[in-house]
């Protein structure tokens, strides 16, 4: 079901129904036995963190000839707490369901907890109906939350919109301002657009040029007194290198200055941005292992900088390969059914006991 010999850690799943079949087999077998199932391999009697599949050529300088499963040894120093953090803007995609499955497996085999956190700060697209649909699909697959909107817990609330109402993110942004890790930026949208166009014309990577990074405090105060709108930006350290030990890809490093500019934490209306919310929530909820799709890998550098500035420990990270269609593009509607609900309505069952016994 999985063709693993593909570049860039890709998993090729021939079509939508094949993706669904693999997902349901994984869910059924995971519930039916004490085996960890990763990709097309079954690893008996071991923890998820000790059996991580690495495909093809990895960022950890693994030999390109070694395309089989690699075993990464790690000693857990704190209780395992994993999370699945969907945005309720539509149905649960089969790729998201696979991510949730791996997070659930990691928590269960380490005797830890599986959390569900709803990232609903996109008020224009997030709906409570979509949230209920995603939660129902997770329950249908047997991926039951130990903490979350339905189960509750002592690290809640488990909706970002409710956490935002408490002033949590704004308070931590103020802490970063006071510690010198952030600053107020009064650039207008027109000024920022002009800077972006100028960078593109010069063939440079568009990023903020730090206009307000070391501004005169008196000028900043004057603008505050005048009621001018501002954003809060993170002050990216010069000469900084961020390195994470990814459970799938090995060590991954970024030259921060070359990669990103001073990025926004709070928008002009006080709304916190995605990377700020995620970093803060993972820390406050004591998430030990973040398992997510590889498309989030580039977000990690910003989140790591935020956590370090707030004096929080970084979690373990595992960035999974994408679920692809036959044409090696990301699985989408043009390949057929892509959501768990679609597969359910087409007659797929959440449990395949006869097949799981064979596995």
d(CA 96, CA 51): 21
Task: From 187, 107, 183, 205, select the one nearest 147 (Cα to Cα).
Answer: 107
Model pLDDT, residue 205:
79
- Tokens 């405090």 belong to 217
CA-to-CA dists, residue 232 to 26, 35, 176, angstroms: 44, 47, 9
Whether 333 sits among the annotated catalytic residues: the reply is yes
Q: Are 14 and 329 in contact (CB under 8 A)?
A: no
Cβ-proximal residues to 202 (8 Å cutoff; 6+ apart), any chain? none
Quote the pTM value.
0.77
d(CA 359, CA 349): 17
> What DSSP designation does 48 have?
G
Grouping H, G, I as helix, E, B as strand and the rest as coil, residue 185 is strand
Backbone angles phi, psi at 317, to 5 degrees: -125, 145
Model pLDDT, residue 322:
84
Model pLDDT, residue 24:
52
* Domains in the chain: ranges and CATH: 167-275+298-309 (3.90.800.10)
d(CA 40, CA 315): 27
Model pLDDT, residue 46:
35
Exposure on the CB side of residue 49, measured as CA atoms within 13 A: 24
Strands 41-44 and 81-84: unpaired
Is the torsion defined by CA of 109, 111, 112, 113 positive or negative? positive
- Average pLDDT, 10 consecutive residues per value, the chain (359 residues): 34 42 51 36 33 34 33 56 93 91 95 96 86 94 96 95 92 97 96 90 85 95 96 95 94 91 94 95 97 93 97 96 79 69 86 45
Model pLDDT, residue 90:
85
> What DSSP designation does 14 have?
S
Model pLDDT, residue 26:
54
For residue 62 the two structure tokens come to 């693994």
Identified catalytic residue from 61, 175, 207, 333:
333
Cβ-proximal residues to 46 (8 Å cutoff; 6+ apart), any chain? 36
Model pLDDT, residue 27:
54
């Amino acid at each position: 079901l999985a063709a693993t010999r593909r570049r860039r850690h890709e998993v090729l799943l021939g079509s939508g129904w094949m993706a669904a079949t693999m997902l349901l087999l994984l869910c059924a077998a995971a519930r039916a036995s004490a085996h960890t199932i990763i990709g097309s391999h079954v690893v008996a009697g071991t923890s998820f963190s000790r059996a991580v599949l690495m495909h093809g050529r990895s960022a950890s300088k693994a030999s390109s000839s070694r395309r089989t499963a690699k075993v990464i040894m790690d000693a857990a120093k704190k209780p395992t707490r994993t999370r699945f953090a969907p945005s309720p803007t539509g149905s649960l995609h089969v790729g998201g369901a696979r991510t949730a499955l791996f997070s659930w497996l990691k928590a269960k085999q380490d005797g830890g907890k599986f959390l569900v956190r709803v990232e609903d700060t996109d008020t224009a697209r997030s709906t409570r109906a979509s949230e209920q649909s995603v939660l129902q699909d997770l329950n249908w697959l047997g991926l039951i939350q130990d903490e979350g909107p339905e189960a509750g817990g002592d690290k809640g609330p488990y909706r970002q919109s409710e956490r935002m109402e408490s002033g949590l993110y704004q308070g931590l942004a103020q802490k970063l301002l006071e510690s010198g890790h952030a600053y107020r930026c009064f650039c207008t949208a027109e000024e920022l657009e002009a800077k972006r166009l100028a960078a593109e014309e010069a063939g440079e990577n568009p990023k903020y040029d730090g206009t307000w990074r070391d501004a005169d405090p008196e000028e900043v105060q004057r603008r505050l007194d005048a009621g001018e709108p501002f954003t809060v930006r993170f002050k990216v350290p010069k000469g900084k290198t961020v390195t994470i030990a990814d459970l799938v890809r090995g060590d991954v490093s970024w030259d921060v200055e070359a990669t990103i500019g001073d990025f926004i934490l709070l928008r002009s209306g006080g709304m916190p941005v995605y990377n700020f919310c995620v970093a803060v929530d993972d820390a406050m909820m004591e998430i030990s292992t973040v398992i997510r799709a590889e498309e989030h890998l580039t977000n990690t550098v910003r989140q790591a900088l935020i956590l370090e500035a707030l004096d929080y420990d970084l979690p373990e990270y595992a960035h999974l390969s994408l679920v692809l269609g036959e044409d090696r593009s990301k699985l989408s509607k043009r390949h057929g059914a892509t959501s768990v609900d679609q597969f359910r309505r087409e007659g797929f069952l959440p449990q395949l006991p006869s097949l799981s016994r064979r596995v």
